[in-house]
Structure 1
């Protein structure tokens, strides 16, 4: 998986990024409507630069690179741009759209996956006639070290082959035929078999020379591609074009080509793709270890992340969720009436069936085929009730109700994370929507109890010790402590218990007002635990230092927290 990001930092800048992107879209849209508007074009460039600066600060290398490329491309757009600049403007618009989608992806997934932006970045670079970035671009490695394939690749299975010129021409043609099929996005199965055969031959022709390990290792990559489903991105197609150049040199340079010095960049990219496609491949790891390069993701992770990135956007999800919520409410109301034994007519049954069918179509749009199929099945069950309105089987009602609850939970989770949740079953999902809602209610109630406690103590002090203000503190803190125990937060519950003991002895049982030091320290302890509880409802990464601060504060006034 690509590296996680600091969600707290991202939350701080998210609104600013969102507003700046909206400003970029508006400026670019106005310029497209009036290409003589130099002010709108300059505003667009300035706003893109502002975005780039934000991405630099939060260390989002892919987003920063894309924003920088968009700035460079925008500066090449002249005021009054003619139709010959349409493609350039189209690429610029695409880059803004992808940036917007990527910021949504960051907000939901909480991981930075710069490789997802590589294709868009390279399209902008090609538009400016610059060299493209390779797939390993966002990975660090030691450029002072050299790859030595001969120490990793065994050649004993390759028997030498004579008649170099004859076979070189044949293998080159074989490789080109396979490559053309890949470039045209045709069936890659046969294409890879042709390339595999070509590279085997090239290795046999080069046994005993410097290039033999390169051909042999490239063949290992092709073998992995044959056995693992792999998308041929533009970057990967370019890699195979680079390998084809080596085979072509066998024809143009003859036998001398066998002793060429292997290209370090090419060997690195072959090993990199090999590791992405087959993370368990030993030779790929050995090669990359030579230059201290560690691959951060697998092919499956990249494909899944790309699917989420290019899936429906948050605005689409919001619109669909609203429409689906209304349909779900309609079904639940009708099912409730059916269950109560109210009179059921054919019109009601048809309505429920139609809504389930409509839900099935929406779920297909959201790429949730299993849930969609389930709704289709339940629509058929409901349709079978026609003519048997008086004898609807209770189990059928429960099956339909379960499906509705499942769809509701799945959509809530989809909206929250954008993840593939087509498999969600409410009763088996440990992270389901309803459980989260219940947890949030507990968190909010516990927060309210702590806020009430702090206000009560403030009122007690301001009234010169009127203990009536403390009457509800015990109940409030017991509620908060019970809530934390319910959530499995025993350490938080212990802090609250120690705070309650302090309040009981120093405020309720005492005949005089506590000193300022104790009150301030108690306030610090309560505030720290309040902040911690607040984070329970907002982030999966919790700051245990807040609890440590509460514990230390209570200890300093003589109240140790007992675990």
Structure 2
């Protein structure tokens, strides 16, 4: 009975605190609106600051450091308001948005009891940017001290002119992936390609004083790919910052290679590695070397909390889309029933098509919405009980198939293609076939890389290569079908190298040749991923050509 009383007391206390926070946030919002309408009334501003201080005190008691920092930043931003109209508007907008986020934050701590402090960094940084202060990194709340380093390797690395040439090549690879990442094109493939570039840089720099950052960054990207980590705007900025670090490393070489790497940047990547647990060899080595702590949360926890704070509409969107699937199924059943000679009501079908069209407009799927509306208008002109012809039924089926395909892509988080023409469904099916072809080609290239690695590991057992040539020829045929003649030509040269050096001569190529061959195949993989978004990145093919030229094929 005593335990039940304690539980009820704690529950009442939590509800009371939440109610107090909600009331204080509401009062702060009202006072902020009053000051926005009359910026000369400093009493209103002082009221806002007083409510923010009250919120800070409560969050301090609740031991929510992220929310405490939000209050500190809001206090700093509001105190930075000047007579400049543009600056004042910027700060007031940021403060208003932050109070809305704090309201959602209450739901978060009610549902999950403890928030990850860094989940509030977007709100913190919006306030900092509003008052022109530098943004904080994602590792801001990561209390971890370390000394940069890397386990001793084998041979000491000699920095030569060739080292710089290869560094520039690997930077081009990294930039190619980064560009796709920033655009939002196939982000998983982009991060994998960036990770490959960082892996090469790590191997190239060995135990140079500047090397620890690149070792840690390479391990982190491997772990992030493994965990399908979110590529937030803050992380894209971090990867861009790493590119600038690489540019500086190249421009100031060879002296820059003898300097220790950035501790702040290394810490950012160590934090990301800590929350993205991975079994990859490099990730485990970095974790062990730096003795990274085990946190009470992970990337998935952080992502769930982000959804609560910043994507409240996603659940609603999914619910609407799921209901829409039921309406589409009903239309398909109706068409199927008529095709079998069953009862038909043009009025009922018209209403269903019009309703679905309106919902598609709401979801932002304008192209299928237009097609559905045109079809609904046609059906609306039919006599109510007159059975439609077979041709008319097929047109309805085509339209519904196209609309269903667009909805499926929305639910999978993919962008809807803007397709034109009369037969929308046919074009959607062609696109799906193209996707399958590209995915199969990527799998073929990955299989070839694994087989060649197995051949090398087995000291030249050609059995591992038995399927490589047919697989690569299949990929080459797919590239021809995809109208990628240059990529097909590059793959043809790759096939010549494998046939000549590995199958005919039985050569055990050295590590540098294996690296070049792997880079060429990986570049083709990433090129294929770009084709999915109709982005034929010829710079990627230049990198593949560079690798093949160095193989003298």
SS of structure 1 residue aligned to 2:254: helix
Q: Which ranges in structure 2 are unaligned for 5 or more consecutive residues?
A: 1-9, 345-410, 412-553
SS of structure 1 residue aligned to 2:44: helix
* 1:149–1:7 CA distance, 2 compared to 1 (3 A): farther
Q: 1:22 & 1:285 partners in 2: Cα distance? A: 47
Q: 2:332 & 2:190 partners in 1: Cα distance? A: 45
Select 1:113's aligned residue among 113, 116, 139. Answer: 116
Q: Which residue of 2 aligns with 1:196?
A: 195
Contact 1:311 1:366 in 2 (8 A): no
Please report how far the alpha carbon of residue 7 of structure 1 lies from its aligned counterpart in structure 2 after TM superposition: 6.2
Q: Which residue of 1 aligns with 2:129?
A: 126
Q: 1:155 & 1:7 partners in 2: Cα distance? A: 60
Q: Which residue of 1 aligns with 2:150?
A: 149
Q: Which residue of 2 aligns with 1:271?
A: 270
Q: 2:67 & 2:283 partners in 1: Cα distance? A: 28
SS of structure 1 residue aligned to 2:208: coil
Q: 1:246 & 1:81 partners in 2: Cα distance? A: 36
Q: 1:381 & 1:171 partners in 2: Cα distance? A: 55
Q: 2:251 & 2:203 partners in 1: Cα distance? A: 18
Q: 2:26 & 2:248 partners in 1: Cα distance? A: 51
Please report how far the alpha carbon of residue 41 of structure 1 lies from its aligned counterpart in structure 2 after TM superposition: 1.4
1:233 aligns with 2:232: yes
Question: Which residues in structure 2 correspond to 1:287-326 (within 5 Å)?
Answer: 287-288=286-287, 290=290, 293-312=293-312
Contact 2:220 2:269 in 1 (8 A): yes
Cα deviations across residues 367-414 of structure 1 (Å, max 9, x unaligned)?
A: 475576468758988999x979xxxxxxxxxxxxxxxxxxxxxxxxxx
Select 2:22's aligned residue among 3, 18, 22. Answer: 18
Please report how far the alpha carbon of residue 199 of structure 1 lies from its aligned counterpart in structure 2 after TM superposition: 2.4
SS of structure 1 residue aligned to 2:151: helix
Q: 1:114 & 1:208 partners in 2: Cα distance? A: 35
SS of structure 2 residue aligned to 1:85: helix
Q: 1:248 & 1:199 partners in 2: Cα distance? A: 13
Contact 1:27 1:43 in 2 (8 A): yes
Q: 1:182 & 1:311 partners in 2: Cα distance? A: 21
Structure-2-length-normalised TM-score: 0.52
Answer with 99-108 or 212-221: which moved more.
Answer: 212-221
Q: Which residue of 2 aligns with 1:38?
A: 42
SS of structure 1 residue aligned to 2:236: helix
Q: How many residues align?
A: 332
SS of structure 2 residue aligned to 1:266: helix
Please report how far the alpha carbon of residue 229 of structure 1 lies from its aligned counterpart in structure 2 after TM superposition: 2.2
Q: 1:271 & 1:22 partners in 2: Cα distance? A: 39
* 1:104–1:42 CA distance, 2 compared to 1 (3 A): same
Contact 2:224 2:276 in 1 (8 A): yes
Q: 1:380 & 1:204 partners in 2: Cα distance? A: 57
* 1:379–1:139 CA distance, 2 compared to 1 (3 A): farther
Please report how far the alpha carbon of residue 24 of structure 1 lies from its aligned counterpart in structure 2 after TM superposition: 0.6
Q: Which residue of 1 aligns with 2:255?
A: 256
Contact 1:61 1:114 in 2 (8 A): yes
Cα deviations across residues 182-227 of structure 1 (Å, max 9, x unaligned)?
A: 3343443453354334324433442342333432332232233344
Question: Which residues in structure 2 correspond to 1:176-215 (within 5 Å)?
Answer: 176-189=175-188, 191-215=190-214
Contact 2:212 2:261 in 1 (8 A): no
Contact 1:140 1:293 in 2 (8 A): no
Larger radius of gyration: 1
Cα deviations across residues 256-298 of structure 1 (Å, max 9, x unaligned)?
A: 2222213333323222212323354565466456355333322
* 1:305–1:377 CA distance, 2 compared to 1 (3 A): farther
Contact 2:219 2:283 in 1 (8 A): no
Please report how far the alpha carbon of residue 159 of structure 1 lies from its aligned counterpart in structure 2 after TM superposition: 11
Q: Which ranges in structure 1 are unaligned for 5 or more consecutive residues?
A: 1-5, 314-361, 389-421, 423-563
Q: Which residue of 1 aligns with 2:75?
A: 71
1:94 aligns with 2:93: no
Structure-1-length-normalised TM-score: 0.51
Contact 2:81 2:87 in 1 (8 A): no
1:50 aligns with 2:36: no
Q: Which residue of 2 aligns with 1:331?
A: none
Q: 1:255 & 1:363 partners in 2: Cα distance? A: 53
Q: 2:333 & 2:180 partners in 1: Cα distance? A: 47
Q: 2:89 & 2:241 partners in 1: Cα distance? A: 31
Contact 1:363 1:371 in 2 (8 A): no
Contact 2:223 2:278 in 1 (8 A): no
Q: 1:72 & 1:215 partners in 2: Cα distance? A: 36
Q: 2:193 & 2:32 partners in 1: Cα distance? A: 47
Cα deviations across residues 455-480 of structure 1 (Å, max 9, x unaligned)?
A: xxxxxxxxxxxxxxxxxxxxxxxxxx
Q: 1:81 & 1:23 partners in 2: Cα distance? A: 26
Q: Which residue of 2 aligns with 1:27?
A: 31
Q: Which residue of 2 aligns with 1:85?
A: 88
Q: 2:206 & 2:306 partners in 1: Cα distance? A: 41
* 1:107–1:284 CA distance, 2 compared to 1 (3 A): same
Contact 1:279 1:298 in 2 (8 A): no
* 1:255–1:81 CA distance, 2 compared to 1 (3 A): closer
Q: 1:312 & 1:203 partners in 2: Cα distance? A: 40
Contact 1:288 1:294 in 2 (8 A): no
Contact 2:210 2:257 in 1 (8 A): yes
Q: 1:291 & 1:130 partners in 2: Cα distance? A: 33
* 1:368–1:64 CA distance, 2 compared to 1 (3 A): farther
Q: 1:171 & 1:281 partners in 2: Cα distance? A: 21
